[in-house]
Amino acid sequence: MEKTNFLYFRQVADMADDGSAGDVDGPGSAMYPASSFRYMNPTADGTISLYFDNMRVDPTTAGPQSDTVSLTVTQGKEKEAMQDIMAAINSNPTDGFVVMADDCVTHDAPAGASPAADAARNSSYCSSHVTAVSAINVHNADHGYGVHEYSEVVDLALDVADDAVAGNLSVYIPAQAHITYAAITPVELAGNDIGSIALEVHSAHDTGASGGTEIVGADVAGNVSLPDADLDISSNAVVGKSITMGTLAEVQRSTAASYFALVGKADMTSTPMTGAPKVAVYLKWFGPAAVSRTGTA
């Protein structure tokens, strides 16, 4: 069986106080899987900081991109302390629980228990050169920045007016996205000879009339979609025949969020589409991760 060591750190002196500081920038203790450990380095004379993958990741925030545990070490013994830390990380305890550093020197216990509440206990460190936990920082970080891809198949409304929303993506992208590529593909056609769609992006979620800017379709500025056409989803169309963003320059969204809508490009109210037309949307962008628009399932 795969073995997973969990690395434990505690900085409170009294066991009963663990948790009293909450969990942001200074919890009383923390435990990380060894696989989350990334690196360590001295950050001051007598201080080593250990960096971990963020325990908490929320794309709607923008916190530091790693958690840190800082240990007080004997000045001049940073190298030896690091060797001991690595040995502890790679140790082989039966239960996988590794006490890396524990400042706690006061017990907590119910009445009658032994050792009694407030009895003294020894602190514990994985190295004789480590003398204290100086800080634990569990940030609520945003891991989203980078290159992302997303695809979703969208069911279309059948009776859509020209330039009205026929379907929305279930996610949006927070501000500061650069949309580098987009494509739309019919994956299920309408049952009749009706249906023309384009992809638009807007700073708000639209229903009804679309307030967005077309990025895939015949009305894109400069006529750069490939091919320069709206997506035909009528019964005469071809499943899988895509329209892409073509040579449209990347779309810098700056401070605006990006909500995506498939928008009707013909009046489909007098003669609505029939069947269950579906369009696959593909997006690629640089920036924050996508966020659910629709809420908990």
Partner 1 sequence: MRKYFYFRDVGDEDHDDDVSASITIPVSDITGVVPTAITTLDVYYKTNDATVPNATGGTAAGTGKVSLTCTRGKLIEVMAEIASHANSTKPANSGLIIMADGAITGYDGEAQSKFFFSNNVTANAIT
Which residues contact partner 1 by CB under 8 A? 1-6, 8, 10, 15-20, 22-23, 27-33, 35-36, 52-61, 67, 94-97, 102, 104, 107-109, 117, 138, 140, 143-144, 170-171, 289-292, 294-297
Residue 15: CB minimum distance to partner 1, A: 5
Residue 25 or 162 having the CB closest to partner 1: 25
Minimum gap (Å) between residue 63 Cβ and partner 1: 10
Between 34 and 263, CB nearer to partner 1: 34
Q: Which of 267, 271, 262 is nearest to 192 (CA)?
A: 271
Contact 153, 186 (CB under 8 A): no
Minimum separation from the CB atom of position 229 to partner 1 (A): 32
**Distance in angstroms (rounded) separating the CA atoms of residues 132 and 241:** 63
CA distance linking residue 216 with residue 183, whole number of Å:
7
Q: What is the amino acid identity at position 173?
A: I
Shortest Å distance, C-beta 212 to partner 1: 21
> What span, in angstroms and rounded, lies between the C-alpha atoms of 259 and 125?
51
Distances in whole angstroms, Cα of residue 120 to Cα of each of 13, 27, 58, 128, 228: 10, 22, 39, 20, 77
Q: Which is nearer to partner 1, 124 or 242 (CB)?
A: 124
For partner 1, the closer CB: 77 or 148:
148
Q: Which is nearer to partner 1, 4 or 270 (CB)?
A: 4
Compute CA distances 204 → 129, 146, 173, 259, whole Å: 56, 23, 11, 6
Shortest Å distance, C-beta 241 to partner 1: 29
CA dist 279 and 198 (Å) reads: 10
What is the spatial distance between Cα 147 and Cα 133, in angstroms, rounded to a whole number?
Answer: 36
Choice between 99 and 187, CB closer to partner 1 = 99
Q: What's the min distance (Å) between Cβ of 269 and partner 1?
A: 32
